[in-house]
Structure 1
Amino acid sequence: MRLAAIDIGTNSVHMIVVRVRPDFSFEVVDREKEMVRLGAGGLDGKRLTPESMTAALQALSKFQRLATSHQVDEILAVATSATREAENGGAFLKAIERKTGIRARLITGTEEARLIHLAAVYGVDTPKPAVVIDIGGGSVEITRGTGREIEFARSFKMGVIRLTERYADSDPIASRDERKMVAFISEQADRYLETIVAAGYDRVIGTSGTILSLGTVATAVDRGIAPTEVRNLRVPAKSLRKLRKAVVDMTLEQRMHLPGQDPRRADLMVAGAILLDTILRRLGADEITLCDLALREGVLLDYIHGHRKHIARVDRYPDVRRRSVIELAERCSWEAEHSRQVAALALTMFDFTKRIHGLSDREREWLEYAGFLHDIGNHISYEKHHRHSHYLIKNGDLRGFEPDEIEIMALVTRYHRRATPKDDHPGQEDLSKPLRRTVEILSALLRLAETLDRSRHGVVRGIEMRERLGEIRIKVQAVGDAELEVWAAHKQAKALEEALGRRIRIEKAPYRKGLKAVNTELTRQKLPRNPRRIR
């Protein structure tokens, strides 16, 4: 299964595309980011600006196209502080869905903290309790916990864009504004940080762009060269303190030329350095371990943990049409072995009679899926279950099918017992004459196939068919007693006789080794994802 996770942040928009492995870990296929400054001027309940929303929408449109090119099965998108606080945040989320088709989920600060913690402890193995710090544009998330349990999780409204707009309006920052910033940080977080210190921790982990950038620059200043890999890079707290003391006296132009610096982050660097140094001081930390996994990876890990069964199903049935049929069948507590047996028998007869009915692989696929779903109406009641099956298929949220295809499969199941198709029946009357003919043939095949597993014991292991002089002879190869199947087949053969214009004779014969057995495994036909419209 392939997934894309998008983090619509205050400062930037990130996407990661991954392939989920069989062991439910993941490997990165692609990643992309855009610095959009969505929160610029839009924090503290203000409105997101038209310029920032346009930049974000353009980035998300590009991300959507990239995800589509990778054929992802799901796009998981979350929006954080800027959207959460903005007066027009809801309208922005609607614009995202309208323009890109991406449904972004607005998450709380606490949920954001939890997801970031999941990613950090996944990337940095820490069996003992760790503190995770994530500095974003609008908020800061601080957690304490292990890979199994999160004890404390809080989000604070003191991200770098927010602090810069409030306190860093001069270049370099004035000393009094630096003191005001530190006082604000202490007022917001000191009590919470004291609780963490009292509980104890093994290490501090830092995630996301601001901390990674500060750690990279601090290391480059110390070593004379920027690190090539940041995950698990340990940065001494004293190096970050030294960097803070240096950057508060620098102009923007000077900060842009620091070794290892991303020039796009230089304007927010002062607030980030003051904020990180203040938090580490309050924690009494000697160092911080960097981790390049953050919210988007946490979103992926959380999804994978909660959807293992679905992921396994996607890997087994990569075609969305087949998968949605199986999901509907499972929701309706289908009799899997019986349904597969009936579908396989129906397909065997379809293939043998193809020269007569002239239908294609498209119709064959409809027959197979109708075979899987023909008895799901039992989920409601056995009485009139063929009608219930018809209703459930039409209203079962089958993905990848056109409305006419769903109607045909529903009608085929509707006519697998009791009445045969009539042109004036609901659903039938809306179909073209060729499609009404298709329903007649497929339902007749399904009706006969159903009788050949009448006992639901799978005694029919193969069928041998021959046509001669206007008659089709079906030899039922069975193990054990198949009298019930042959008797039921004789009773229901008339529908197929009328559909094909041939007499049907059914005989029972012992199963012979070497005869091609009925294949009840689900085949994986490669069919077009967007089939042409049927006429």
Structure 2
Amino acid sequence: MKTAVIDLGTNTFHLIIAEQHANELHVIYKTNQPVKLGEDITANNLIIPAAFKRGITCLQEFRAELDKHEVDIIKATATSGVRSAKNGLDFVEAAKKHANIEIDIIDGDEEAQYIYEGVKWSGAIKGKSLIMDIGGGSTEFILCDEETLVWKKSYNIGAARLMQRFFKSDPINTSDQKSITDHLDEELKALKVICSAYKPKTLIGSAGAFETFAGMLSPKIDIAKISTANISLPAYTELASTLIKATHDERANMKGLIPLRVDMIVMASILTNYILDEFDIKKIKLSTYDLKMGVLQSLKV
């Protein structure tokens, strides 16, 4: 039996196809496209026409792959970009009409649950951990250990959303950085309360920006072939400082930094630094398994 998951993120659409043998899932195809569905979404809370068209075109291409692989079960999930847009339901209807793909708009709690299941599957969770999944529209935080999901919450502080609202200088100046940290202070009050009690020892970054951090620090590792990896805290700290101080053009010429993340990696670095400092976390890990792998796990029969 073949199952497929489509993850419609605010920045990137992902397609993953797996084949199930007995109780094991084997990924046989995966791809992604930098659709940038959330382009300028903070202006009027709308998916703008160009982004709308890019999204539907991408889903039509995904449909061709699904048909080619003769997939039996398909689950497409949409997160913050579609969830928060005034015309999000219009996009869902267009996807059904033009690509024959039914989209399930999931809420922040469901999103965090799927992320937890994906990260747990990777084997990254060892002891008291804080999972952080930095998306384009939202960022999810999950407190957990190997056996238990203790607490989870989704916040509208994704990298694209922060960038559109606060990234006004090049390189980003201290005033813009302070505006971001002040905003995080206000938004993350509940996270601060629960973390002060739970005291997580490890920050686990779920895919996305953390794959970029790991890839830039260790160019020889093949991100596509690993499920988890350690990230050196001193090496990360130095990299984050370099990324934040650099101009757009300087980052664009850095090896391992894809065009989609050239600016958003600054937001991800500031957010990651904030979490590490606020909760005095000394250990960072990457999980390449994220929401889409959690959704895939849920489809096992």
- TM-score under structure 1 normalisation? 0.54
CA distance in 1: counterparts of 2:106 and 2:42, whole angstroms: 16
Structure with greater strand percent: 2
SS of the residue aligned with 2:41? coil
Q: Is the 8 A contact 1:47 1:86 kept in 2?
A: yes
Structure 1 position 271 matched with structure 2 position 267: yes
Q: CA deviation at 1:239?
A: 2.5
Residue in 2 aligned with 1:499? none
Q: Is the 8 A contact 1:44 1:85 kept in 2?
A: no
Q: Distance in 1 between matches of 2:84 and 2:56?
A: 18
The 1:257–1:60 alpha-carbon spacing in structure 2 relative to 1, beyond 3 Å, is same
The residue identity in structure 2 corresponding to 1:92 is F
Aligned position for 2:47 = 48
Provide structure 1 residue ranges, at least 5 long, that are not aligned to the other structure: 309-535
* Alignment partner, residue 208 of structure 1: 207
Q: In the alignment, is residue 245 of structure 1 matched against residue 238 of structure 2?
A: no
Is 1:82–1:138's contact at 8 Å kept on the other side of the alignment? yes
Q: Quick one: distance in 1 between partners of 2:241 and 2:128?
A: 30
Give the 3-state SS of the residue equivalent to 1:284 in structure 2.
coil
Structure 1 residue 117 corresponds to structure 2 residue 116: yes
Instruction: Kindly indicate whether residue 296 of structure 2 is the aligned counterpart of residue 300 of structure 1.
Output: yes
Is the 1:61–1:99 contact (alpha carbons within 8 Å) kept by the matching residues of 2?
Answer: yes
> Is 2:7 the partner of 1:2?
no
Distance 1:247 1:2 in 2: 41
- Distance (Å, rounded) in 2 between the aligned partners of 1:92 and 1:166: 24
Kindly state the Cα deviation for residue 240 of structure 1 after the two structures are TM-superposed.
2.4
Secondary structure class of the residue paired with 2:47: coil
Aligned residue for 1:154?
153
Structure 1 residues 233 and 127 mapped into 2: Cα distance closer, same or farther (>3 Å)? closer
Q: Which structure's relative contact order is higher, taking Cα pairs within 8 Å and 6+ residues apart?
A: 2
Aligned to 1:235: 231
* Cα deviations by residue, 1:327-366 (Å, 9 ceiling, x for unpaired): xxxxxxxxxxxxxxxxxxxxxxxxxxxxxxxxxxxxxxxx
Indicate yes or no: 2:30 matched with 1:21.
no
The residue aligned with 1:417 is: none
- Residue identity opposite 1:107 in structure 2: I
The answer to whether the 8 A contact 1:240-1:273 is kept is no
TM-fit CA distance, 1:266: 0.6
Find the aligned partners of 1:226 and 1:250 in 2 and give their Cα distance.
Answer: 24
In structure 2, what residue type is equivalent to 1:249? Answer: K
State the structure with more CA Rg: 1
Percent pairwise identity? 26
Calculate the aligned-residue CA RMSD, in Å: 1.8
Q: Are residues 124 and 262 of structure 1, via their aligned partners in 2, closer, same or farther at CA, if it must alter by over 3 Å? A: same
**What SS class does the counterpart of residue 233 from structure 1 fall into?**
strand
Note the C-alpha offset of 1:33.
Answer: 0.3
Q: How far has the Cα of 1:21 moved from its partner?
A: 2.5
Does the Cα contact within 8 Å between 1:43 and 1:138 map onto a contact in 2? no
Q: Does the 8 Å contact 2:203/2:284 carry over to 1?
A: yes
SS at match of 2:93: helix
* SS of corresponding position for 1:77: strand
C-alpha deviation, 1:202, in angstroms: 4.9
For residues 391-438 of structure 1, give each alpha carbon's deviation from its aligned partner in whole angstroms, at most 9, with x where no partner exists: xxxxxxxxxxxxxxxxxxxxxxxxxxxxxxxxxxxxxxxxxxxxxxxx
Counterpart for residue 78 of structure 1: 77
Q: What residue number does 2:167 align with? A: 168
Q: How much has 1:301 moved relative to structure 2?
A: 1.2
**Partner AA of 2:21 in structure 1:** R
Give the Cα–Cα distance (whole angstroms) in 2 for the partners of residues 111 and 45 of structure 1: 26
* Structure 1 position 44, deviation (Å): 7.4
The CA deviation at 1:188 is 1.2
Deviation at 1:71, TM superposition (A): 1.0
Q: CA deviation digits over 1:222-255, x for unaligned, max 9?
A: xxx4533453221123322222222222111110
Corresponding residue SS for 2:299: helix
